[in-house]
Every structure is written in structure tokens, then in C-alpha cells.
Amino acid sequence: MRPPMLTARALVKRFGTAPALDGVDFHAAPGESVAVTGPSGSGKSTLLHCLAGIMRPDDGEVRLFDERIDSLSERRRSHLRRTRFAFLFQFGQLLPELPAEENVALPLMLDGRSRRDSLEPARAELRRLGLEGKEQRRPGELSGGEAQRVALARALVVRPAVVFADEPTGALDRATGDQVMGVLLDTVAELDAALVVVTHDPRIAARCTRTIEIRDGRLSGAPRTGDGFDGFAGTAPAGPAPDSAGRFGHEPVAEVWR
Ligand code: ADP
Ligand code: MG
């Protein structure tokens, strides 16, 4: 097995008293896709946000390669999110007033590239995802599947080391969801990136290289506090879990782009 690129040890995150994460270990190697499953409210999104540097854990640590990232300043974590990580949420969180190509170019422009140098790779990424001819459309003029592919293009245009996806196909019909997921998995393999994807869909979990299950803020079957990489190897893909159909629209995308 290849050495992990993203690792976390004994993550704890509390909102008020009850911990949302209660000692979770995690690892993902380049080329690996890890499905995160579990019931609604079990801590899946919190895990993703801690791994991605959106949220700081109260305890434990997160490393990208050898660098500890949870303790970095907000400014440096923000830079990391823009340059090494990519995010895909249930709804693409595209900016409605911008054409597709500008939505995709945005992370490059935020990182200081000129508009021209950003639009070129953005258009190439849109072409690669089968959206040639739709570059000038605004999100409201695209179908749900097309909009999600634009969001995918925006996530991938930075050539990220890790892609974080939180129920990326939750709002799509099955065929469109399968297509988006196929492109996501192919690209992650091509980039030799790692994918961490929260999903309730056992068919999606089955397409990932590994599945972990979170229950009450802990890895299913894991002891209370992690003590290394042994005890939490991936489980077989879990069955469908009832989850958060009602929790739309409050993903912390503003924080991601900050
Ligand atoms: P999941 O993604 O598995 O549905 P979450 O990680 O969103 O679960 O939430 C885990 C627990 O933490 C839940 O009890 C949820 O209500 C709580 N929680 C999550 N985010 C916040 C927050 N920003 N403030 C307070 N409580 C939160
Ligand atoms: Mg969630």
C-alpha cells in the first residue's frame, strides 16, 4: 500500500457538550477514494470539514504529507484550501451571476492568476467534462447535472491533491449522479489525487476503493480513541443509511472560498 497523503489522528470536535467527532482516525493515499457513510448527524460533514481545514478540531491532528495543517493560521489554511484541496457539495454553490467559465476560473483568479490565464484552463476543463458550448451560460441556464459538472470543473481546475465531496450526487437523478461520479473518480485517478466522499448511496460507496462508517462521532467498530492505522482499515461498503435529506443549503462554502 502507498503511504498516506492525508492523515488524521484522534480528531475531536464539540459543538456545545456532545462531541460531533469523538476520536476519529483517518488516512488516504494518492489514488485512493474513501467513501464516508453513516446515519444523519453522525459527524460525516464535521469530519470532512476538519480534514479540509475548514474547521479546526478541538483535539487531535491533521497532516497533509508531513505538514501539520490543523494548527496553521486561518490565512494559511485558506491558502491550502484554495491550492491543494477541492470541494464539491450537494449543490454546486456556483455564483449565479457568473457564466460557467468564470465560475470555473474563480479559484485560479483568487490565487492571483490573471483573468486570461484563468479562463483558458477553465474552458479546457469544461470541454473535458463535455460542456463545450455552455461556457457562457449562467448556472440558472444549466440543467442540474450540467451545473454539477461545472462545479466539478471548478473543483478540478486547480489540480488538487485531495478532493472533498459531501453528497455530491444527492440532488441528481441516478443516471446523472452516476455520470458525475464517474468523471470524479476518473479525474481523481488521473491526477493521482485522493478523494474523500460523503455519501448514502451504496452504489457510490462500492465504486470507491474503501469505505468507512461513522456512528455517533466514531468510526464504526473502532475503539474510543484511535491508536494508529491498524484497527480502522476500511470496512466493506455499508448498506444505505437514512440521512439528512432535509439539510440542504447550509454547507460552509463561503468559508471554503474565504
Ligand atoms: P452528518 O454530516 O453526518 O449528517 P454533521 O457532521 O453535520 O453530521 O453533524 C454532527 C453533529 O454535530 C450533529 O449533531 C449536528 O447537529 C452537530 N453540528 C454540526 N455542525 C454544527 C454547528 N455548526 N453547530 C452546532 N452543531 C453542529
Ligand atoms: Mg452532512
Quote the Cα angle for 170-51-240, to 5°.
35
Whether 160 is in the pocket of ligand 1, judged by its Cβ within 6 Å, is no
For 215, list phi and psi in degrees, rounded to 5. Answer: -135, 125
Q: Where are the domains of the chain?
A: 6-95+160-257
- Other Cβ atoms less than 10 A from the Cβ of 68: the count is 10
Ligand 1 midpoint to CA 96 (Å)? 27
Among 26, 45, 196, say which to mutate for ligand 1: greatest number of ligand atoms within 8 Å of CB. 45
Q: Look at residue 224 and tell me whether its pLDDT is greater than 60.
A: no
Contacts of 209 (CB under 8 A, 6+ apart): 31, 32, 33, 34, 234
Return the closest-CA partner of residue 46 out of 90, 72, 79, 15. 15
Q: Whose CA is nearest to atom 22 of ligand 1?
A: 15
Distance CA 64, CA 52 (A): 10
**151-161 confidence digits (pLDDT tens):** 999 999 999 99
Show the cell assigned to 175: 443516471
Ligand 2 midpoint to CA 144 (Å)? 20
Among 13, 26, 46, say which to mutate for ligand 1: greatest number of ligand atoms within 8 Å of CB. 46
Confidence of residue 104 (pLDDT cuts 50, 70, 90): very high
- Other Cβ atoms less than 10 A from the Cβ of 12: the count is 17
pLDDT > 70: percent of the chain:
85
Stretch 225-238: mean pLDDT: 40
Whether 46 is in the pocket of ligand 1, judged by its Cβ within 6 Å, is yes
One CATH from 2.40.50.140, 3.40.50.300, 3.40.50.360, 3.30.70.20 for 6-95+160-257: 3.40.50.300
Q: Look at residue 239 and tell me whether its pLDDT is greater than 90.
A: no
